[in-house]
Amino acid sequence: MSLSLDRLHGLESLEQETLSGILDLAEHFKRVNERRVKKVPALRNVLIVNFFVENSTRTRSSFEIAEKRLSADTLNFNAKSSSLSKGETLIDTARNLQAMSPDILVMRHPAAGAPALLAKHVDAAIVNAGDGWHEHPTQGLLDMLTMREHKGRIDGLKVAIIGDIAHSRVARSNIFGLTTMGADVHVAGPPTMLPPGLNTLGVTAHPRVEPALEGADVVMMLRIQKERMGNDLFPNDREYFRYFGLTPERLTLADDDAIVMHPGPMNRGVEIAPEVADGDRNVILEQVTNGVAVRMAILYLVAGGGQMTQER
């Protein structure tokens, strides 16, 4: 079977076979990353621009490491010191970058839909590194890889996603990916952070955290996306922690072997108690490690390596 991907804007349209194939390939690259010599020549002569117009620690670093491990040529576009600050539009900026013939643009932007918009104006393949509240597909993939490693499967897992669902691109990509893979997804948060129509996405929504946690195999905590809220949607951080924070007591509701995940950045004492964030059930830094392997797999596929992969 060949696995091909000419871009990655989101997980919404990807089929189960494609998602599984990407995770299999990411496992292969994870083994490469465990070797003494971690660099492979797969993307030699491929130029990748990391076009980040919103801050990032994990995603940006891991894309850059993934590119270096694959021997790609890379350019890190710095939005703050660019001519965007002089009034140049996003599209003009991207067209100027396109004039330097990149093969792939890895793009993060605060506006939902920005990667799809740019794709109409540039020839380079766009890989979405997070667009507003819309999607964060490589995060969804690295989360699923982490779940599959720990649980041996995704199909049938009860996954509780707790927090600011309405503004979370991580929640949306996980919902799309996990439901396609057959997981039983429960979301919980204050009613002001649960968008309408969640049931049409195939998830069960709860205005309280406890029913979502009961018997969960995976507990994924989300940060409150204050930068994407018009008004405060809850009284204060202390109130939020009291009703929705993951404490050691609340975690006892989940399965005894449940894993605790968080995409980062974490706000300790708001959505997660420090002792849970550092506890023996957390796999938060494993998620970060898996991010490099997943991004290697995506870049490899988008650069056209899928046929070779399946023959390996």
Residues marked active site are found at 58-59, 86, 108, 136
Which residue shows structure tokens 């905590």? Answer: 221
Cβ-Cβ contacts under 8 Å for 185 (sequence gap 6 or more) = 159, 161, 174, 175, 178, 179, 202, 203, 204
Least distance from ligand CP to the Cβ atom of residue 263, Å: 4
CA distance 253 to 249: 8
Q: Which is nearer to ligand CP, 139 or 309 (CB)?
A: 139
Burial environment of residue 242 by CB neighbours within 10 A (0 to 12, 13 to 18, 19 or more): exposed
Least distance from ligand CP to the Cβ atom of residue 103, Å: 22
Least distance from ligand CP to the Cβ atom of residue 136, Å: 6
Point out which residues pair with 73 in neighbouring strands: 47
Question: Per-residue x/- mask for ligand CP, residues 31 to 70, rule CB under 6 A?
Answer: -------------------------xxxxx----------
Residue at 219: amino acid letter: V
| 128 and 8 Cβ atoms separated by less than 8 Å | yes
* 282 touching ligand CP, by CB under 6 A: no
Question: Per-residue x/- mask for ligand CP, residues 139 to 168, rule CB under 6 A?
Answer: x-----------------------------
Least distance from ligand CP to the Cβ atom of residue 173, Å: 10
Residue at 147: amino acid letter: M
In the set 132, 263, 305, 306, which binds ligand CP (CB under 6 A)?
Answer: 263
Question: Per-residue x/- mask for ligand CP, residues 101 to 130, rule CB under 6 A?
Answer: -----------------------------x
Which residue shows structure tokens 């006892």? Answer: 252
CA distance 252 to 44: 49
Phi and psi at 193, nearest 5°, equal: -110, 10
CA distance 258 to 217: 4
Binding residues for ligand CP, rule: CB under 6 A, are 56-60, 130, 136, 139, 263-265
